[in-house]
Each structure stands twice: as C-alpha cells, then as structure tokens.
Structure 1
Amino acid sequence: MTGPGPDPVDRTATVDGPAAVEKAVQVETAESELRRLGLDALRVHHHGDLARVEAPSVELLAVASEPLRGEVLRAVRSAGFRLVALDLAGPPDPAA
C-alpha cells in the first residue's frame, strides 16, 4: 500500500468556508476508516452525497467483492456519505 495522497481539501468540490472544511473532514474520516481496514491506497473524493472511491487496479476486485465490499460501504457511509461509487479508472498514474 502507498502513503497518504493529496490533502482531502484537494479532493472536495471547490467551495469556500465552512462547507469546504466539513467536506474535507468527511473525506478524511472515510479514508481513516479505510486505512483501519488496511486499505491505505484508496482515495475518497467528495461529490455531495456521493463518495467516489479510487482504488489501484490490483485492488479493484477485492474491494468490489464480499466481504470487503460490505466493510468499505460501512466505512465510507460512517463518514456521512449516502452513496458510494468505485471509480474503475483508479487513481491517476503519477508517471504519466
């Protein structure tokens, strides 16, 4: 697994003030719960009620399959997201 990614504020909708902080806290809470599950490489992006989860391609099948799928859903929803989507493209390749 890789280290922490960009600051959670960088992965929220472009908003100023308290709303941006609240969204950053939601992202950080979700990612903290995912790290607790050993999923350090997953990144969460805020899209209102929807959390878009990026996972490296080597982890997509595991994250989308039970029992881990249910754990990921619980972890991300515990941060206040209603919907959780798995981004099939995964995180951008830093070498590209």
Structure 2
Amino acid sequence: VLPEKLALIDRSEAYLRSLGFRDLRVRHHGEVARIELPPADFPKLLEGNTAAEVARTLQAYGFKFVTLDLKGFRSGSLNEGVVK
C-alpha cells in the first residue's frame, strides 16, 4: 500500500473517531472510501447531517465516492474477494 493511501486512510479514520465512532475501518478502493462500522453505529452515522458531513469531508480529503458497508465492521474484509 502506498504511503499516500495509508495517510488518506489514517486521516479519514481519525476524523470518524473524532465524531465518536470507535470500532471502524475505512477501506481504500481507488476513488471509493468504504466505511465499516458495527451495525449498531449505523443510526449514529445516518442521523441528522452526519452522513452528509462525513461524505463532504472524505471527498475533500480526496475520495470521489463515500460508501457505508452494510455488512458492518469485520477484520479481514479487504481480502474477501481474494481467491486462494
């Protein structure tokens, strides 16, 4: 993973933590940021203007699209599409 991508992921995750989210991952898929949160945190992200603010902020960081993974937070999900 390129240092620029890691910095973008770290910055995005730090921003989400500043909003009170604890267990999370931001996955980098080119122009797409895929946010993984525990399903119990979905309402917190989707209430009020939070989702719009998150999308705006991550787009300002450099992502074109910002998505929420409906499967929720899980370790190793980046490798789910890898065939062994």
What TM-score comes out, normalization by structure 1 length? Answer: 0.68
Amino acid at match of 1:40: R
C-alpha separation in 2, matches of 1:70 and 1:42: 18
Task: Indicate the residue corresponding to 1:62 in structure 2.
Answer: 44
| Higher relative contact order, chain-length normalized (CA < 8 Å, sep 6+) | 2
What TM-score comes out, normalization by structure 2 length? Answer: 0.76
2:28 aligned to which of 30, 33, 46: 46
Q: Which runs of 5+ in 1 are unaligned?
A: 1-14
C-alpha separation in 2, matches of 1:75 and 1:33: 9
Task: Indicate the residue corresponding to 1:32 in structure 2.
Answer: 14
Q: Which runs of 4+ in 1 moved over 6 A?
A: none
Residue-by-residue CA offset, 1:38-93 (whole Å, 9 max, x unaligned): 12222100000100000101011221332211222133223211100100001227
Q: Does 1:73 align with 2:55?
A: yes
Tell me if the contact between 2:36 and 2:74 (Cα under 8 Å) persists in the aligned partners.
no
Tell me if the contact between 1:53 and 1:86 (Cα under 8 Å) persists in the aligned partners.
yes
Root-mean-square deviation over aligned CA pairs: 1.7
Q: Which runs of 5+ in 2 are unaligned?
A: 76-84
